[in-house]
Amino acid sequence: MNSAISVSTLNTQIKSLLETTFINVYVEGEISNLTYHNSGHIYFSIKDENSTISCVMFKGNAKYLKFQLEVGQKVTITGTITVYTPRGSYQLMCTKVEPSGQGALALAFEQLKAKLQAKGYFEQENKKKLPAYPKKIALVTSPTGAAIEDMKKVATNRWPLVELILIPTLVQGESSKFDIVESIKYADRLEVDLLVVGRGGGSIEDLWAFNEEIVADAIYNCEKPVISAVGHEIDFLISDFVADVRAATPSNAMEISLPDINEHRIYLDNFSIDLENRLKNLLNKKEVDLNNMYKLFEQNSLDSKFNFISEQIKVLKERYFNILKNYFQNKQSRLDLLKEQLKLSNPDNKYKNGYAQLSIDNKIVNLENLDLNDRVTLQTPKTIALCTIEDIKKQ
């Protein structure tokens, strides 16, 4: 008959068997009972339709987790089976967790994007306006990459008056996110007008530092305007959404932030020509106004007034003399007429040519009113003749 063993011995044997048998487990399931412990460890379970297994991811592995675990999320886990001897329970100790059907980085990107959007990091009303003519720009980037040379070249050609201040920064690798944050905070304390945070192109892993939440926080909390210029035109990162302006490339960041000096030269040339034309027109107008004022002054001067009054007096004199002349002419004509009438009425002249006054009983009558046998008197100033009408002939 076999002798009995202790519970501890049994659990120890089970632990040895399981942990040596299930050294590298690759399992898929749905997350439940999720707990993020303040120690940095993550405790959860994964399940399928029929079974559940407890899981733990210790802090050392959890810090490499790119995305946030969520209840109901389907994941694929790499790990080993461990047994907790005092309770006789086993669990899956996770070394790596990946989202099923989706890359961890892609999921982490979408999760952080949703989180920051909910916090208002992407709101347009929170974006700061870029200065029109920046004097100093801080470049948070690597001192050895192609990005810095491209930005210097574009800035020199576009607006050579600007001063570029390089903040040497680690932009790739696990610790680069901390260096980027420190560089942003340092640049924000400098006397600069804006910051350009970026680097050249690369894989999603190379660019991942710009998808980190602490980098997003540093950009959002920056007091000065920030341009995110990471990778190529097709690359979109969290820093692009948080920054005040996104540039497709580092070179494009310079094009966005700096005015074009050639355009300003053309503008100044056109402005100079326009100003010259305006001045000419203004001077011509003022000259016309001055001439008009001079003429008006001449018209209202004492000499002009005296000449005007003299002319008025001359006109009045001519008009007066004309009136007198006409008056005397009229009177002379009237006098001549009266003289002629008087001459005609003179008795001495009235009867010169065989004329005599015809009357009947001292009443003057017309020859046409006489009848036969009328006794009439023919009278001149010197002679009176009594006559009898013997015959009347009508003509």
How far apart (Å, rounded) are the C-alpha atoms in residues 150 and 252? 9
pLDDT tens digits for range 106-123 = 788 888 999 999 999 999
Phi/psi at 344 (nearest 5 deg)? -70, -30
Q: Express each pLDDT in 3-42 by its tens digit.
A: 888 888 888 888 888 878 888 899 988 888 999 999 999 9
Residue with tokens 């790499």: 78
% the chain with pLDDT above 70: 96
DSSP codes, 66-128 = -S---TT-EEEEEEEEEEETTTTEEEEEEEEEEETTS-HHHHHHHHHHHHHHHTTTT-GGGPP
Predicted confidence (pLDDT) per residue in 344-353, tens digit: 666 565 555 5
Residues across the chain: 395
Interstrand relation of 357-360 and 375-379 (parallel, antiparallel or unpaired): antiparallel
Q: Is the pTM of this model over 0.85?
A: no
Average pLDDT estimate for 173-201 = 95
Cβ atoms < 10 Å from Cβ of 250 = 28
pLDDT of residue 373: 85
| 335-387 tens-digit pLDDT | 888 887 777 666 565 555 567 778 888 888 887 888 888 888 888 777 888 89
Asked whether the beta carbons of 83 and 15 are under 8 A apart, the reply is yes
Query: How far, in Å, CA of 82 to CA of 93, rounded?
Result: 7
Give the confidence band of 393 by pLDDT, cuts at 50, 70, 90: confident
Q: How many percent of the chain have pLDDT more than 90?
A: 48
Looking at residue 179, its pLDDT comes to 96
The whole-chain average pLDDT of the chain stands at: 88
Asked if residues 197 and 227 have their Cβ atoms less than 8 Å apart, the reply is yes
Contact in structure between 29 and 101 (CB atoms under 8 Å): no
Answer for the pair 77, 62: CB distance below 8 angstroms, yes or no.
no
CA proximity to 196, closest of 114, 255, 137, 111: 137
Indicate if the pLDDT at residue 259 is higher than 70. Answer: yes
Q: What is the pLDDT, as a whole number, of residue 351?
A: 53
Q: Are the CB atoms for 100 and 74 separated by under 8 Å?
A: yes
Using one digit for the tens of pLDDT, what is the confidence trace for 261-303? 999 899 999 999 999 999 999 999 999 988 888 888 877 777 7
Rounded to an integer, the average pLDDT of 144-161 is 93
The residue with tokens 């916090």 is 119
